[in-house]
Amino acid sequence: MTQGRSSHIGVGCIIELYTGLVIDHVVYSNFCLGCALGPQPQDERYTDWLATHECQRNIECNSGRMEVEAALTMFQRSWAKHGLRYTTVLSDGDIRTFHALSEAEVYGFIQIDKKDCINHVHKRMDAALRNLVAKKKAQGTITAANASTLNDGAAACVLMTRQAADRLGVKPIARIVGFGDAAVEPVHFSIAPAYAMPKVLKAAGLKIEDVSMFEINEAFSSVVLCNMKHLKLDHSKVNIHGGAVSLGHPIGMSGARITGRMAMHLQPGQYGLAGICNGGGGASAILIQKLHTRESERSLPVLTLYTKHPCPLCDVAKDQLRELLPRVHLVEVDIEKPGNEAWRQCYRHDIPVFHLNGQFLMKHKANPHLLEERLAALASAS
């Protein structure tokens, strides 16, 4: 973004209702008022840098205009995407509508040129969720915010008998203890796993308290919540690595995904129980027990850094984590390289982004204390 339009009006936090994107006005002020990568005010180089830097031109404008510039960015995207004449901006509980095309002269827009000085644009999903909940139907519990998305994905599990494993010389990581099915009236489909899962436990001679991890497929969040309530499950044991609402719901892969997830994350000797609706009021459940730990799990935890080159912020983040890096295997993923388009789409405004063993850890900056806590948790669990 190298050009912008600005006004003398301050509106606080800007939200585009159609996409739920929120621009933090503090962050956007950094974009308008100065390059975040420049020296800090206490630095002796700051005065000379500020006098010559392109962003200094923006400071001469009145203070509130950067928020409306953000709003105009929202307007332009809405026009292109929805063919709309205007959009809505929320500010501290007030709703204001700006007819930016026809009333530009009213707000005193100033045309300015800028260097590329974007720090970060925050996406505050909690604001989007609140907006969606407010639009739900009376007495309804399912909205776009708590339903899964249909997206591409795949999962696979290799199954074989113990005799086949011995013949091939492979070491199974888990065994199937039991499985079963149950059904209810189709209108009550969401509660069906709560009938299938106890059947499997009873056949295996186990109780709910004997299970270390539960996976319940969540086409809707309400499915998991009602089964947790019915079975009185410990919330800390259910879908602890994310469910279909957060990860997505590719048709046909859910069973392999939730079973494989338990097989990977259980500790030897622990039991995991998975339940899934299978249509028409039916449900299936499977109980597995972890047998052995994969060789790869005995190696150092993998810390993945999504970055690009050059990335001064990423270099700073790595320097802040330097004392912890010997305890992890650091893998850097350049989001600008061919083949990494999906990562670029996800993280182009957020780098540096860190994952630990494939799970999101932190973004925008390094948090050594958080990484230390997660490494300690991994060590205690092994």
Q: What is the pLDDT of residues 206-253, one digit of tens each?
A: 999 999 999 999 888 888 999 999 999 998 899 988 888 888 888 888
Looking at residue 378, its pLDDT comes to 85
Residue-wise pLDDT for 296-349, tens only, equals 555 788 999 999 989 999 999 999 999 999 999 999 999 999 988 888 888 989
162-290 belongs to CATH 3.40.47.10: yes
The mean pLDDT value for 18-32 works out to 40
In the predicted model, is pLDDT for residue 66 greater than 60?
no
Residue with tokens 């011995």: 166
Architecture of domain 299-381 in CATH? 3-Layer(aba) Sandwich (3.40)
Domain ranges in the chain are: 3-134, 162-290, 299-381
Residue 192: pLDDT band with limits 50, 70, 90:
very high
Identify the residue with better confidence: 201 or 28.
201
CA distances from 345 to 106, 145, 341, 342 (A): 36, 21, 6, 5
68 phi/psi in degrees, rounded to 5: -70, -30
| Higher pLDDT among residues 134 and 64, named by residue | 134
pLDDT at 152 (0 to 100): 84
Confidence of residue 80 (pLDDT cuts 50, 70, 90): low
Is residue 270 very low, low, confident or very high in pLDDT (cuts 50, 70, 90)? very high
More confident residue, 277 or 11: 277
Which residues have CB under 8 Å from 113's CB, separation 6+?
2, 3, 54, 57
Share of the chain above pLDDT 90, in %: 36
